[in-house]
Structures are given as C-alpha cells and as structure tokens.
Amino acid sequence: MTITKKITLGFALPIAVLLAVGGLFRSVTTRLEDTASWVDHSNQITDLVQQTLTRMVDAETGARAFFLVGKEEFLEPYLGAQADVTRLVDEAGRLSVDNPEQHGRLERLRTTLVQRLNIVATAIDARRKAPFDDATAVATLAAGKVAMDAVRTDLGTIRETELGLLAKRRAAASDSAENAQLALVVALAIGILLSMLSSYLIARSVIGPLAVVREGVDRIGGGDLEYRIVIGNRDELGQLAAAFNAMAGNRSKAEAEIVKRSDERARVLERVGEIASRLAASAGELQATTASQASGAQQQSAAVVQTSAQAAERAHTVAEVARQAVEAGEAGHESLDSATATMTRARDQANRVAESILSLAEQAQSIEEIIASVDDLSEQSNMLALNAAIEAARAGEQGRGFAVVANEMKALAEGSKAATVQVRRILGTIQKQSNQAVMMTEASTRGLGEAAVAATAVGSTMRTLNEAIATAAQSVGQIAASARQQSGGLQQINQAMRDVSAVATQNLATTRQVGEAARDLSELGSSLKEIFAELPVGRGDGRA
C-alpha cells in the first residue's frame, strides 16, 4: 500500500467515526424534539380542560345569581361560557385524537355540558317568566350543583389522565437524553482511539523505512557506492530506495569507466609521444617526397591536358553518333508506320480478293450447272443425230444427203460433248485453283494481320527504342557538356598541379618546421602524461 493510501485511510477512519457520531446526535435530537412536542401537546389539553372548567363555573355562578335575583346582567358569564365551552371541548377532542380513551371522555363530557347548558337555558326562560318560589329555587340550585359536581369530576379525570401522560413523556425524554449523551461519549472515545491507532500505524510504516533510506543515502553520499538500501516496502519509499540503488550502480559504472578512460588516455599520450618521434623522423623523408611530388605534378599536368583534349574529341564524336542514331530511329519509325499502313491496306485488299474469288467460285458452280445442261443437250443432239442417221438409212439413197447432215450433227454433238468435258476439266481446275487461292488469300490475310500486329509491336518497340535513343542522345549531349566542363576542370587541375608544385616547394620549408613541432609535441605528451598521473581518478570523493 502506498503512503498516499495509508494517509488517506488514516484520515478517513476518524472522519467516518465523526460522521457516525453526527448521525447518532441527529437521531437523539429528533427523538427529543418529538418528546417535547408530546409534552406541549399534553399541556395544551390540560390547559383547555382547565379553561372549560372555569367557563362552566362562571356560567353556573351567573345562572344561579339570575335565578335568585332575576337581573339580566348576571347572565353575562353564562352567555360567554355558552359560546366558549363547546369550542374548547372540541379543540381538546381534536388534540386527543391519538388517544381513543381520552377522546371518548371528551366526547361524553361535551354531551354532558351541552345537556347542562340546555337545562340551565330552560330554567332561565322559566325564571324570566316568573320568579321561583323557594322550593323551586332550592331544587333548581341543588340539581345544578349535582350537575356541576359531575362535570367537575369528569374534567378532573381528564386532566389527571393527561397529567399522567405528561409525566410519562417527560420521563421518556429524560431517558432519551441520557442515552444520547452516553452514545455520544462512547462514539467520541472510539473515534479518538481509532485516530490514535491509525496515526501510530502510519508513522510506524513510514518512519522506520524512512530512517533506513536516510542511512543508505548518507552512506552512498559518503562514497560507498557498493552499498544498497534494503527495505521491504512497495510504496513510494520502496521506489525511492530502488532509485537510490540504481543511481549508486550507475555511479559505480561511471567511476569504473572514468578510471578505464584515464588509463587509455595515458596510453594515448604515450602513443602520441612515439608518433611525434616518428613524425620528426618522417619529416625528412617528407621533404624528399615533396620534391618528387613537385616534379610529378608537372608531368601529371601535361598528361591531364592531353587526356582532356582526347575526352572532349571523343565526347563530340559520340554526340554526333547519337544524333545520327536518333535520326535513324525516327526514320525507321516512319518507315515502320508506312509499312504497317501498307500491310493494313494489303490485308484489306486480300480480303476483297478473297471475296472476289469466292464469288468466282460461286459463279463457277453456276457454270457447272450450265455445262451439265450443255452436256445434256449434246447427248440429246447425239441421240437425235443417231435417229436422223437411222431415218436417213431407212430412206435409202434419197436419205444419203440427210445422212451426211446427221453425221455432221453427230460430229457437232460429239464436239459439244468433248467441249463440255474440256470445259468441265478446265472448270474443275479453276475451282481447285480458286479454292487454293482462297486458302492462300486467307493465309495471306492471316499472315498480314499477324504481320500488322507484329509491326505494331515493332512500332511500339521502335518508339520505346527511339525514346531510349533520344534519352541516350540527351545523356551523350550532357556527357559531352560534362566532358567540356571536365576539360575546363582539367585545365583547372593543371593549374592546381602547378600550384601543387609550388606548394610542394613551400612544403619543404614547412616540413622542417613540422619536424621541430613534432619534437615539441613529444615533449608536450610527456608533460601531459605526468600531469594526468598526478590527477586523482574518481575514487573516494566520488569525482573524476
């Protein structure tokens, strides 16, 4: 449990106890108010009963005086009581509705009072008509006394009963007040005990581990980086201890890294000293090398100029070839477009030729029918010629000339027959060749279609090729421009090489200075090594 939760719980317990005490106090207060209300209720009824008795006594006294004297002014108390008695008894009856027994007594009292007042009223009327004699006066007064005694007794009973209830209610109120006081005292005592207990527990769970953390922080701060704070808490103190432990671990690693780097620095300084010594030795060699570089730079300058000229010339040649390739590609593409169009037209023409050949084949079929008719006619002619010859033979010598005609007819029929045979043979040859022509045309059309498709593909390829050639030509142009720029650059390099030669000459002098500086550097390395050796290296005080 976290410290926040513990503190929250420690405050929550007393607050809960206070809330319980408050609730109890409110309950006791409510009960006391109820008891006081009932006491007031009983007092009101008692007071009303007392007022009723007073009014009735006044009414009886006034009436008796009127009976004795006969003066109307003595009836004033009676008349006032006659108006108030009924109201007072009704109000007392309304207040005693909760007590059926008391309410019944009041109802009966009201009836008795009304009857008594009516009797008195009757007597008053009689007295007004004539003065009472002694006997009537005594009887009337005696009856009034008896009636008033009964009324007084009833009112006394009611009053005593109500006073008894009042005493009980006051005793109950006193008991409630005592109980409430006791409950409040007990609740406050429990609240105080709970508050003390929660404070003790919170302090115990926080203060102890806090002291452990404080001790650990002191030790780690004192340089004991291997010390670790060990507490079992899982709250903020536990997290704080873990953070301190992690910090101590990181600090320990950093110290080790600092020591390691200090050693490496010492080794580097030693290495610097050695290199400075070697540098001094190499400075002499560098002088000779620098002189050689100067002469080499001059030779390279001449070679660079020659290479630059050759590169520019070759770039120009390549650019020209690329331009010719672009032109050839464009011409080839135009030729291919023309060839594609020509093949398309040839395919259309081949289609039309195929249609014409098919029409020709159909017409040849018609010719075949005509030949069949001619053949039939020739056979009939032949048969007619034979019959003519028969008739000529029958005619004998007179039919000789007719026989010649028949013979000629037969020759014509045979000639027609032979001609039809020959025409049929030729027609067969035509049909065969037309079929072959149709098939060849079909194959040609198909071939032209495929060729057109292939030409279209070739066109696409050539278009791509042209684009590639154009791109290549553009690239070649850029290369030529670059070559020209390179030529200029090489000129600059040439100038730079000359500058290098001059600088190399200067380097000779500088190299001597470098040798001297190397020696100074070696001495400086030794001094640094000594200085670093004297420095503390992060042990004990926690600083590097």
Partner 1 sequence: MTPAEILAARARALAVIPDPEAARADRRMIVATIGAQDYGFPLAQVHRIVPLGRITRLPHAPPLVAGLASLAGILGLVFDARVWRDLPPSPLGPKLPVLMIGPTSRPLALVVDAVVRYADVPADLTAPGPAGSWLVGLTAERVLVVDDEVLAADPAFSLALGDLS
Distance (Å, whole) CA 425 – CA 25: 142
Residue closer to partner 1, measured from CB, 389 or 483: 389
Q: How far is the CB of 387 from partner 1 (least distance, A)?
A: 6
List contacts with partner 1 (CB under 8 A): 376, 379-380, 382-383, 386-387, 389-390, 393-394, 397, 400-401, 404-405, 408, 410-411
Q: How far is the CB of 386 from partner 1 (least distance, A)?
A: 5
Distance (Å, whole) CA 14 – CA 5: 15
**Residue 94, Ramachandran bin (φ over 0: left; ψ between -120 and 50: alpha; else beta):** alpha
Residue closer to partner 1, measured from CB, 213 or 385: 385
Query: Which two tokens mark 295?
Result: 């002469």
Residue closer to partner 1, measured from CB, 330 or 379: 379
Distance (Å, whole) CA 239 – CA 358: 104
Distance (Å, whole) CA 32 – CA 420: 152
Q: How far is the CB of 408 from partner 1 (least distance, A)?
A: 5
Going by C-beta distance under 8 Å and a sequence separation of 6 or more, which residues neighbour residue 389?
403, 406, 407, 410
Residue closer to partner 1, measured from CB, 328 or 395: 395
Q: How far is the CB of 423 from partner 1 (least distance, A)?
A: 18
Residue closer to partner 1, measured from CB, 237 or 389: 389
| Residue 135: other Cβ atoms inside 10 A | 8
280-289 — which CB contacts under 8 Å span 24+ positions?
280/515, 280/516, 280/518, 280/519, 280/522, 283/511, 283/512, 283/514, 283/515, 283/518, 284/511, 284/515, 286/507, 286/511, 286/514, 287/507, 287/508, 287/511, 287/512
Q: How far is the CB of 395 from partner 1 (least distance, A)?
A: 11
- Mapping DSSP to helix (H, G, I), strand (E, B) and coil, where does residue 71 land? coil
Q: How far is the CB of 390 from partner 1 (least distance, A)?
A: 5
Residue closer to partner 1, measured from CB, 351 or 407: 407
Label residues 310-319 b or e (16+ Cβ within 10 Å = b).
ebbeebeebb
Residue closer to partner 1, measured from CB, 330 or 368: 368
Cβ proximity of 311 and 486 under 8 Å = yes
Distance (Å, whole) CA 134 – CA 118: 22
Q: How far is the CB of 374 from partner 1 (least distance, A)?
A: 14
Cβ proximity of 514 and 289 under 8 Å = no
Q: How far is the CB of 426 from partner 1 (least distance, A)?
A: 21
Task: Give, for 419, the enclosing helix (H) or strand (E).
Answer: helix 400-534
Q: How far is the CB of 394 from partner 1 (least distance, A)?
A: 7
Distance (Å, whole) CA 7 – CA 319: 90
Going by C-beta distance under 8 Å and a sequence separation of 6 or more, which residues neighbour residue 311?
483, 486, 487
Cβ proximity of 223 and 541 under 8 Å = yes
Q: How far is the CB of 372 from partner 1 (least distance, A)?
A: 11
Residue closer to partner 1, measured from CB, 325 or 388: 388
Cβ proximity of 10 and 201 under 8 Å = yes
Rg (alpha carbons) of the chain, rounded to whole number: 75
Q: How far is the CB of 424 from partner 1 (least distance, A)?
A: 16
Q: How far is the CB of 371 from partner 1 (least distance, A)?
A: 15
Distance (Å, whole) CA 433 – CA 192: 131
Residue closer to partner 1, measured from CB, 335 or 422: 422
| CA proximity to 91, closest of 77, 68, 110, 116 | 110
Residue closer to partner 1, measured from CB, 112 or 407: 407
Residue closer to partner 1, measured from CB, 415 or 488: 415
Residue closer to partner 1, measured from CB, 139 or 395: 395
Q: How far is the CB of 428 from partner 1 (least distance, A)?
A: 21
Q: How far is the CB of 368 from partner 1 (least distance, A)?
A: 17
| CA proximity to 290, closest of 38, 29, 510 | 510
Residue closer to partner 1, measured from CB, 197 or 418: 418
Cβ proximity of 110 and 86 under 8 Å = yes
Looking from the CA of 169 toward its CB, the CA atoms found within 13 Å total: 19
Residue closer to partner 1, measured from CB, 160 or 376: 376
